[in-house]
Amino acid sequence: MKFFNNNLSIKIIFLIGALTVLFLNHALNIYPFRELFRYLVDTEYYWLVPTFTIIFIGFLLFYISMRKKVVNGKIEMFNATIRTVQDVLQNSYSSLQLLILDMKDENVDPVIVHKTEKNLEEMHKAIKTLAGIDPENIKLEELNKKLSIIRMRDTVTK
């Protein structure tokens, strides 16, 4: 079925079919579609229309269910990635807290301690924002407002 995933393949198959019908019509004076329609009308196969409609609806429902499975898989992957990033940030957050305690014990310059605490607060805000992300309704502008780490507007306007 990988062959039919490409639109070009479908177009080539359709073109080959159309050229075959044209060849049969003009070169051999055989009219397959006209004969098929005449046969269907003469034998009164009116049940074909509902049958093909049901088959089409079945394929459509199958496509929709497969699409939902793909979207759900992407959402699960996104959730796993967010959890992993959140765990890494949480570990870094804990390490920074320990570093601040060590810096206070070592009597390091208070400006450096203050900058580290400010970075710690921003990291805490990033962890909370990542925890509140709903992958089905994610809006990048809202993430940009909550996280000062992501600077999308700055890169777009330059």
Q: How confident is the model at residue 135 (pLDDT cuts 50, 70, 90)?
A: low
SS3 of the chain: helix, strand, coil, percent, to 5: 85, 0, 15
Q: What is the mean pLDDT of residues 6-30?
A: 84
- pTM flag (> 0.85): no
Q: How confident is the model at residue 57 (pLDDT cuts 50, 70, 90)?
A: very high
Q: How confident is the model at residue 1 (pLDDT cuts 50, 70, 90)?
A: very low
Q: Mean pLDDT lowest for which of 42-51, 63-72, 95-104, 109-118?
A: 42-51
What single-letter amino acid sits at 90? Q
How far apart are the C-alpha atoms of 75 and 69, rounded to whole Å? 10
Burial class (CB in 10 A: 0-12, 13-18, 19+), 126: buried
